[in-house]
A and B are shown apart, each in its own frame.
Chain A
Amino acid sequence: MSFVFGMHIMEGFLPMKWAALWSIAALPFIIAGCRQIAGVVREEPKLLALLAFAGAFVFVLSSLKMPSVTGSCSHPTGVGLGAILFGPGAMVILGMIVLLFQALLLAHGGITTLGANVFSMAIVGPFVAYGVYRLMSKLGAPQGLSVFSGAALGSLITYLVTAAQLALAHPAEVGGFYASLVKFAAIFGVTQIPISIAEGLLTVMVMNLLMAYSRDEIESLSLLRNGGSIHVNN
């Protein structure tokens, strides 16, 4: 049996009960995400291109497996950018589409582990990215630093959630959940540290371009309009 390397939980590697549990946990977020995207389509159809842009960013970044200081590879998630622009709900759907594509065509992740992978990469990641970004903006951090921190932490915590999901399903015989968590976190978490930093920097680069070329679209995102957290230097 040959395994294709990827960074999500592999097909069949979560026992049925955990696979079901994570799928059920992801469901309400998926429904809320559909509603949020439907809201964008209805109220601000001109923002669809920017939404597609955020989706394309996830598509590209999750295909780039990068070398890490641990001597293994992992890939960025790309969900931070869209979460910062549109809020985390929209990214649940965009992230899920990418995970589905990779599960079906690349044997990367899986159908039975889709719920768990959606939960880590498309729910926790975007919520962390969005939360950190908003918090830092409120505290008066420069926009670049807020974007960097949001995207980088969202990416890192995605993989810590993956480690926790695996540890819950496969606790060590000695030491149980925590002993397993330490092992999985050492693999996924430590590998992801430099890659999260790279993702944070790349997200700042793309945000710089968007601020230069799509200022009006970004301003019309009601989310940012209410928060007033985007500063435009022109």
Chain B
Amino acid sequence: MSIIKKNVILLFMILALLVYALVVNQGAEFGGADGEAESVIAETSPDYTPWFQPLWEPPSGEIESLLFSVQASVGVGFICYYLGYRACLRRKEREPKCD
């Protein structure tokens, strides 16, 4: 099986997992797991108050998703640069005439 075929199958498996999670929980909030952990802490240690606050918090959900997108795109940018560079090197090895 070619790599493209293998990876397309794997990609569909991942998508199926995520879509399934959305479909079986249509009413759910999809909050962060740590938000739920906080409510457990409030139960087990009702007197606990966090003793340190984040030095800086994104001022809004929009700014937060901006920063998450920046994080993801910087990463993907490098990953694609690297793979493109390696793919080109390999092609040059195989077909020395095609520059």
Contacts and interface: CB of A to CB of B under 8 A. Distances in A.
Contact of B36 (A59, A103, A187, A213): A187
Contacts of B13: 201
Range for the number of chain B residues in contact with chain A = 35 or more
A43 interface: no
A171 B29 contact: no
A71 B44 contact: no
B3 A107 contact: no
B98 interface: no
A96 to B, nearest CB: 15
B32 interface: yes
B54 interface: yes
Given A63-B68, A194-B17, A72 B57 contact: no
Contacts of B68: 63, 65, 106
B68 to A, nearest CB: 5
B82 A173 contact: no
Nearest to B54: A107
Contacts of A187: 33, 36-37, 40
Interface stretch (A8-16, A84-92, A133-141): A8-16
B40 A214 contact: no
The binding surface of chain B is classed by DSSP as helix
Interface in B28-60: 28-38, 40-41, 43-45, 48, 50-58
Contacts of A213: 83, 86-87, 89-90
A218 to B, nearest CB: 11
Contacts of A6: 32, 34
Given A5-B34, A53-B82, A57-B79, A63 B53 contact: no
A60 B41 contact: no
Given A5-B34, A50-B82, A67-B30, 7 more contacts: A12-B53, A59-B75, A60-B72, A62-B71, A110-B54, A183-B40, A187-B36
Interface of B: 3, 6-7, 10-11, 13-14, 17-18, 20-22, 24-25, 27-38, 40-41, 43-45, 48, 50-58, 64, 67-69, 71-72, 74-76, 78-79, 82-83, 85-87, 89-90
15 contacts: A3-B38, A5-B31, A7-B33, A12-B53, A53-B78, A59-B74, A62-B71, A71-B29, A73-B31, A103-B54, A107-B56, A171-B44, A187-B36, A192-B33, A204-B10
Interface of A: 2-13, 15-16, 49-50, 52-53, 56-60, 62-74, 101-107, 110-112, 159, 166, 170-173, 180, 183-184, 187-188, 191-192, 194, 197-198, 201-202, 204-206, 208-209, 212-214
